[in-house]
Structure 1
């Protein structure tokens, strides 16, 4: 099991606790600030922060589950717990964004009176807290879809808070009440644009879609290994964003199993070094399936 305090970029207990506390405080402050100032962008940011708090808890729990070892019920382990969490977090972001977008458009045509001073104070406090939370998760977000989804929650909140600050200044100095719903609309659009790629990637992983690897190039490389005469029935998929699995039927010269095993190691080394494929399963054959296609053919994939 991985150490939570390793330098792998994974979320630690301490970071999790700090981010959760910060988000809870921000949510409470923004709810009160939004109600008393009349600012839609503050209220929308408060709802967003509430979602973030749930996201952080869910992401951390999924992270802990993903570290569980393989067992007879889950022979690939629990790595996809983080993929599911990333998918749900991003989907929730888009739903929230849609609600905020509708509300923002309505308020854009019917702006309400806003207390710019209170709006500005709350927005500054929120920005500082959100920025700290974002920095805490910035490193881990580069290597983990689950943490990245949570990081995007926090980053979008930081940007939203900066937008609220700008809006508060314009409302305070220029009296432009329309800026408040406009900021809400722009933030909702940004959040959707950031969350959609994560949803797309997580769905591909959950559907066991092939990663961006040229299987015909793999076959070419394998045929260059002495003893291999054909490759067919290739399957390649990902357990999570970092673990790629490969299986194939390979035609080999007629030989003893002990001799065939000597070919497996260079195959595994090639696939790992060149394609970052961690898990390789091969079925050795001599003539069987030699003329079949590289990929699955109906009723012949046995």
Structure 2
């Protein structure tokens, strides 16, 4: 976790307290007003409180140094946290949409006045929480997942304000489940990229690199005859790991080290690779392709 995205414990604590208070207020307001939108927002905020705590714990774990059991360190803890938070958001959204559809066919009376007051309080508190997390959300998937939790609730509360005004003025109770469905769809839309990226990282999917261009650049280094058996993956959303076998002319090991240094500098500066591992060979694999097709050769 980079220093510029390392959120302080004070900020996490403030966000947790704000969300806990919002949850209580919206649960009471939802029951008094009969608003599904308020109750759904309350459950979202309850999940937010848990996700903020989880995100903070994961961020602290991610700062731990590597050791003999975790040679790449603990940065994946934050990716796991982002994955869990995303799954929770999607499940809650799907359940709430199901309940909203039921209410469309069986509408229930809603007290627009109570709904409006509680929604205004929730909107202010949620936007305050989102502001506290906004800085770290740009460069950290874990914080981004938590930030989306909070932001989705802020937008949800704002939508509830509009719905409450319509209910209060025109007495259209169907607005309540419609708002819930719209907010849930927005949450799904925003959460899917985070879930997809966290799954890709956990599955060690290759980052977005032009491997053919990398090979061409590496072959420009004097002495490099072939590049094969490439692997690339990410420890987190910011750190790319890269390994490859390179065929060189038969030469002294002391002559190989400058080639290593040049290739490492190339890959780090041009392709933003953080960790480079190269294996030098003369004849072995000289005619092999860029990517291995043999499961036993991984």
TM-score range, shorter chain: over 0.9
Q: Deviations over 1:59-79 (max 9, x none)?
A: 110111111000000000001
1:296 matched to which residue of 2? 292
Residue 220, structure 1, aligned to residue 193, structure 2: no
Q: Deviations over 1:187-231 (max 9, x none)?
A: 111111111111111111111110110111111000001121110
CA distance in 2, matches of 1:290, 1:216: 17
For residue 176 of structure 1, what is the aligned residue in structure 2? 172
Match of 1:18 in 2: 14
| Equivalent of residue 137 in structure 1, options 122, 133, 140 | 133
CA distance in 1 between partners of 2:295 and 2:137 (Å): 42
Task: Kindly indicate whether residue 75 of structure 2 is the aligned counterpart of residue 79 of structure 1.
Answer: yes
Cα drift, residue 14 of structure 1: 1.0
2:250 aligned residue (246, 250, 254): 254
Q: How far, CA to CA, are the matches of 1:53 and 1:296 in structure 2?
A: 45
Q: Give CA deviations for 1:7-63 in whole Å, capped at 9, x if unaligned.
A: x02221111010000000000000000001111100000000000000000011011
Shift of 1:299: 5.4
Residue 156 of structure 2 is aligned to residue 160 of structure 1:
yes
User: Which ranges of 4 or more aligned residues in structure 1 deviate by more than 3 Å?
Assistant: none
Residue 87 of structure 2: SS of its match in structure 1?
Answer: helix
Residue in 2 that maps onto 1:276: 272
Greater Cα shift, 112-121 or 89-98? 112-121
Match of 1:28 in 2: 24
**Corresponding residue for residue 148 of structure 1:** 144
Inter-partner Cα distance in structure 2 for 1:241 and 1:86: 11
Unaligned runs of 5+ in 2: none
Aligned to 2:121: 125
Coordinate RMSD, CA, aligned: 1.2
Residues of 2 paired with 1:165 and 1:300: CA distance?
60
Give 1:301 shift. 2.2
Secondary structure of the 1:236 match is strand
TM-score (norm 2): 0.98
Deviates more, 1:27-36 or 1:197-206: 197-206
The residue aligned with 2:236 is 240
2 CA distance for matches of 1:196 and 1:11? 24
- Pick aligned residue for 1:44 from 36, 40, 46: 40
Deviation at 1:293, TM superposition (A): 1.0
Aligned pair count reads: 298
Distance, in Å, in 2 between the alignment partners of 1:115 and 1:232 is 67
1:300 deviates by 6.0
Say which SS state the counterpart of residue 275 (structure 2) adopts: strand
Which string of whole-angstrom CA distances, capped at 9 and with x for unpartnered residues, describes residues 75-133 of structure 1? Answer: 00001001111011001000000110000111112221111111111000000000000
Distance, in Å, in 2 between the alignment partners of 1:120 and 1:232 is 63
